[in-house]
Every structure is written in structure tokens, then in C-alpha cells.
A and B are shown apart, each in its own frame.
Chain A
Amino acid sequence: MTLKLYCDRMSQPSRAILIFCKMNGIDFEEITINILKNEQHAPEYKAINPMSQVPTIVDGDFTLFESHAILIYLSCKYPGVASHWYPSDLVERAKVHSALDWHHANLRRGSVGVIVNNVLLPLNGLPFNAQAAEEAEKTLVKALTILETFWLKDGPFLTGRSQPSIADLNLVSEVMELQLLSEKEHDRLLSPFKKVLQWVEDTKSATAPYFEEIHGVLYKARDEFRALMAAKSGENDLK
């Protein structure tokens, strides 16, 4: 029975798993759960994942959610997976776990906060919360600084590795979500972080051509959002 992957290419962790499966030749069926249409709250999906979150995998009888857990499971279950994705050395593996754990409350929290406050709220006509936006940006900038000065200080990839691990896939997908910001905001936030930018490129190259292919949906949404925000801003100027 083929692995089922319930995901949305607009979701950062979903993209990480899709790229991973394609890179490692894991056969899977992609079932889209559209987050913007709230499909994750449908009773059929709740029966699969009671947390109503995306992504989820179903491998025969076995259901699993949380993207880090999924990537580790796939690395261990499928023998064709190259060992650099989830190293077997205890110490190297511990550092990959450490980066994945750090991610939750730092890069992810910051990045999601910035996108929600600067893209999703205005798009849905909801009021802008300056305090929340400021907090989110502070968290994001702190996380990018730690990536630049700590996680990427010893190697092209996280934790001093010379080849990417599942941590790189997951965290780079997170940074890619910032593409949804205006070009000006994106450059303002990311341009000081040269190592981070290089690391994103290195991860793209290491997972070519799948990285760009999977991110196609995000790029399309980015172009649409930017056009919409430009139009709105144009209207405001006219007013």
C-alpha cells in the first residue's frame, strides 16, 4: 500500500516532506488539504488527524503527524534514504534533534507570526496589531541571527554538516515562507544574513529539481499576494 501524504504546498512542513520523499524515491500519494479553505477541520480529516493539522502521513495502518517525527520515521523506515538526512552517529544525530527542537519556538514562531501579521491579516481585511507584529519580527530576527552566528557557523549546512539533513529541509522551507512578504520587506529582513541566504541556495541545489518544483505553488501565491497588496496600496494612494 502506497504511503499517503495529506498536505498543502502552502505549508512549510508539508513542502519539506514532499521534497524529502521525491529526493529519496519514496512512492507516495499526495492528498491536498487546503488550509486556506479550512479543509483541515473537516470531519473526514479530523478522523485521520484529531489535531486538524497538516501534514499527516498514513502508512498502511500507521498514522503519524508532526513533520519532524514524520521525516525521522521516513528516514528510518525506508532503506533507500541516504544517511546524511538523519545521521546514525549518536552525537551528530543529537545535534540534528537539537536544531529541530529549537526551530519550534524560534524560527517557526517568528516566521509564522510575521506572515500572519503582515500578509494574512491585511489580506482578510482584519485589523493590524502593531504590538503582535513587532513581537513576531523581534522573534524572527533573533532566530535568523542565531542561524547566522551559531547553527551555520561551522558548515554549509546546519550543525556544521557538509551535507543537508532533515533539519535543513524543514528550516529552509520555513525561511521560504517569507517569500510571501513584499519584496521590500523580504529584502529588509533577510539581506543582513548572508550565510542564511547562501544556505537556502545550497539546500535548493542539493535538492534540485524538486525544491523549485514543490515551491511553485508558493511562488504563484507570492506573485498574487504582491499584486493584490500593490493594488490595495495604489487604491489608498488614490484616496
Chain B
Amino acid sequence: MYGILWCRALQPRTAQLPRPRANRGPNVGTFSMWYARDRRYILLETIDAWAECLNTSTVDGMIRLELFVTSNLQLKKVKDRSEMVVKVYGERMSEPSRAVIIFCKVNGIEFEEIEIDVLKNQNYSPEYKEINPMNQIPAIVDGDLKLFESHAILIYLSCAFPQVASHWYPSDVYKRAKIHSVLDWHHSFLRRGAAGFVFNSLLAPLSGIRSYPQVIIQAEEILLRSLSKLEHTWLKDGPFLAGNSQPSIADLILACEIMQLELLSEKDHDRILGPYMKVLQWVEDTKSATAPHFDEVHELLFESQKRFREQRATKSRKTQVKSKM
């Protein structure tokens, strides 16, 4: 339905819908005007309908609005992207946090990175508990939505931001299903193995947390089984997971998981990863596909790797000196 609205003044509101404030218009009673994205929308309160504002002009001191009235306009879904920025809560030592940050940078999604230092227990602060009652990172806040679990976050961002290239989360039902499959597999296998092994063999002792040898052995077993599955099943049909020729969100998540193994000693890293040529190539391919952001976001990890390896080398030299004495 096409219509013309005349009024004396416009007070544009740029905010999250709905929060109307009435402005009198001579033709259709009260209305409010909203900016949403780069378009104007009018709520015609008298007839309880929304209209898209096609054109505005000033005639003899009066403002003339050309409107297209539709009751099907789903304005709840419309947000003013220029006013709202996604908040990403995480830290760059966390594998899934890195995946979300790299994804946003690669796809030009404007975001605010808010560091939550897990070693300082910042994930247990009352402010962060409001964002994510699970006390885990990463989490995002996008308008009213508070979301945690990195796979859910990446799927949401892929769908909410139209500029995201389709290979990240293809709309084809079969390709998408395979991506869901590898993301689900990841939880119980690669993540459990890699994060478990790095945490229990390295990070826990460094933080004075007790770790059990049995747990370390079990984690390494799961990690090696996972790497074998990656090599022989997930990467058998293509450069990227599930036979894809371009990376998806699954590649980003799992490659960031593998990168955590960089914290190990060079010897352990090469022992564990060395046999898996496809896996190593795939990590390089994912890096290239997301350059320069992948390397930039992993800088902190490499700084820690350097520090750990130097500490190990010093400790080893001290032990050698002691044994000679």
C-alpha cells in the first residue's frame, strides 16, 4: 500500500526496536520514525502498521514522506549495524576464542574484543557471569543476544552478517550437514584430546594445579586417535575438512585447536604431529586462506611458546650442570 505522509518535523530515532516516541503527523495521526540499517521505517501508530520510507522532500516548509506500507515487515529483525558492534569476550590463549576473532577479522565484521583472562579467573567475575553463566570463553553479545559455545557463535555470525562468504557455512543441506558432523565430532575427540593433553601435561603444572599421569596418557591417546581420523577420514577428499575445496567454520575451529600443540616442546610437537602430513598441510592451507589474520591472532600463543621453550632449556641446562657436579 503506497501513501503520502505530511508532517512539520521529523525526529529520527536510531535505536533498537521497539521504543517509539510519538511525533504528530497531520495525515495519519501519530507516528514514529526509525532508522534501521540505511533505510527509514515509520511506525504509523494510528493504523498500527509499519511503512518503509521511500523518499522524503520538503514542500512549503512541510515534510513530505512517500511511504510503502506493509504489515509483513519484520522489523524486529532489522538492526542498525552502524550503531551496534558485536562484543567478543575471550582471550587469545583460548583456541575457540581465536577462531571467533579470526572469523570476524577475515569477514570484516566490526567487533569489540574484550579480554577475559582465565588464568586470573576473570571468567568467574559477576559481570562476566551475566554474559555467560557457564563461566567459559568465548561468548558474544549482539544486541539483546548473549551467546556462548564457539560453534553456535560462528554459525550465528555466518548467518547474521550478509557479507560472510558462503563457503564458511554453505547453504547446501548436504555440505552443511557434514560441517555440523565434524564440529560435533570435534567436541569428544580433537578438542578433548588436544586441550586435555596440553592442559594436563603443561598448563596445569605451570599453574600449580595437580594433574594425574593417567589423565595425560588418556588425553594423548584420544589426541592421536583424532589426528589419525583427521588424516584418513576428514581430510581424505579435499584440502579442507569434509571434502571441501574452501575452508568452512569447521576448518577454522579445528585448525586453532591444533595450533595449541605449539605450546609443547619442539620434540613432543614433532613426535605427535610429524606423521600426519595431510593435517600439517591443511593447517598451512587454513593459515593462507585467512592471512594475515591467522598469524596475527596467534602471536600471543607463539610468545608463550618461546617463553616455555626457553624455561625448559634453562631448566635442562641446570639439571645437566647439577648432574656433573
Contacts and interface: CB of A to CB of B under 8 A. Distances in A.
A81 to B, nearest CB: 13
A65 B181 contact: yes
B80 interface: no
A97 B160 contact: no
Contact of A51 (B133, B155, B233): B233
Interface residues of B, number: 33
B152 A98 contact: yes
Interface in B99-158: 133-134, 144-145, 147-153, 155-156
Contact of B148 (A66, A77, A91, A98): A98
B170 to A, nearest CB: 12
Contact of B187 (A64, A67, A104): A104
A101 B149 contact: yes
Interface string A88-118: 0011011101101110110000000000000
B229 interface: yes
Contacts of B174: 62
B159 interface: yes
A68 interface: yes
B180 A72 contact: yes
B24 interface: no
Contact of B181 (A64, A90, A97, A104): A64
Contacts of B167: none
A68 B180 CA distance: 8
A7 B151 CA distance: 26
Given A69-B181, A150-B133, A94 B173 contact: no
A68 B184 CA distance: 7
A155 interface: no
B178 A102 contact: no
Nearest to A132: B214
B180 A69 contact: yes
Contacts of B149: 97-98, 101-102
Nearest to A53: B185
Contacts of A193: none
Main secondary structure of the interface of B (DSSP, over half): helix
Interface residues of A, number: 29
Given A64-B181, A150-B133, A104 B152 contact: no
A33 B133 CA distance: 39
A10 interface: no
Given A73-B173, A105-B187, A150-B133, A66 B145 contact: no
Contacts of B155: 93-94, 97
A163 to B, nearest CB: 19
Nearest to A91: B145
Nearest to B174: A62
A73 B150 CA distance: 20
Nearest to A65: B181
B109 to A, nearest CB: 15
A200 B187 CA distance: 25
Given A94-B152, A97-B152, A104-B188, A77 B173 contact: yes
The 7 A-B pairs of least Cβ separation, nearest first, read A69-B180, A97-B152, A104-B187, A101-B149, A66-B184, A69-B181, A73-B177
